[in-house]
Chains A and B, each alone.
Chain A
Amino acid sequence: GAVVSQHPSRVICKSGTSVKIECRSLDFQATTMFWYRQFPKQSLMLMATSNEGSKATYEQGVEKDKFLINHASLTLSTLTVTSAHPEDSSFYICSAHSAEKLFFGSGTQLSVL
């Protein structure tokens, strides 16, 4: 299957700082990537759809100024959590489509102190 790489796998940061998470499609081009957030024992919640060369589409209730998404190339999308607060602590996962299937990155566990 297709490979999606996500980095870093774990981040611990102080409240008020910004954190950037990278998502790369390694063996295919992805014009669209998706960013999910998952709280413990909860489902994956779609945050936004990242579109190469254009603005991201955010789901209802997700602040676009807080969760900045950039999709500058066909293989890279980044999610920046700006001015992170403890309530932003969560597991963030990116994904991309290939041949009708959704493939996921390894996830980033963000802990904001």
Chain B
Amino acid sequence: GQNIDQPTEMTATEGAIVQINCTYQTSGFNGLFWYQQHAGEAPTFLSYNVLDGLEEKGRFSSFLSRSKGYSYLLLKELQMKDSASYLCAVRDGGSYIPTFGRGTSLIVHP
């Protein structure tokens, strides 16, 4: 089984930087995903990490440390539209289906 932990809620100011952490425990590891989900909508893909290190994609970056069972999603130059739930999902060694964390609700205020 898997245990994925991420904060329930975070708040940040428009224009700032926020880091959303995710820790996990899995039997084997085969990739970690970050998704963004606005209320009432389906998740949209943000990033995929399978090797250690930082993956940068525009305002969003994702970091992975497999030895620590740890990842973070970094959002820069926050915009009001970034207010959403951010889901960390991990795929263990025995499956190609990721298991989702509860999600972190990010509230961006002016």
Interface residue ranges, A against B (CB under 8 Å): 1, 6, 34, 41-46, 49, 91, 93, 97, 100-107, 109
Contact = CB atoms under 8 A, between A and B. Distances in A.
A48 B35 CA distance: 20
- Interface size bracket, B side: 20 to 34
B31 A100 contact: yes
A107 B40 CA distance: 8
A45 B105 CA distance: 17
B42 A107 contact: yes
A7 B103 CA distance: 25
A102 B102 contact: no
Contact of B40 (A43, A44, A46, A109): A109
B75 to A, nearest CB: 20
A43 B6 CA distance: 11
Interface stretch (B11-19, B20-28, B55-63, B93-101): B93-101
A93 B105 CA distance: 19
Contacts of A101: 33, 45, 48
A44 B93 CA distance: 20
B87 interface: yes
B96 A97 contact: yes
A3 to B, nearest CB: 12
B102 A103 contact: no
A6 B103 contact: no
Nearest to B31: A100
7 contacts: A41-B103, A43-B102, A100-B31, A101-B33, A102-B45, A102-B89, A104-B43
Contacts of B40: 91, 107, 109
Nearest to B4: A43
Contacts of B100: 43-45
A90 to B, nearest CB: 12
Given A43-B87, A100-B31, A101-B48, A106 B41 contact: yes
Given A43-B87, A43-B101, A97-B96, A6 B42 contact: yes
B3 interface: no
Contacts of A104: 42-44
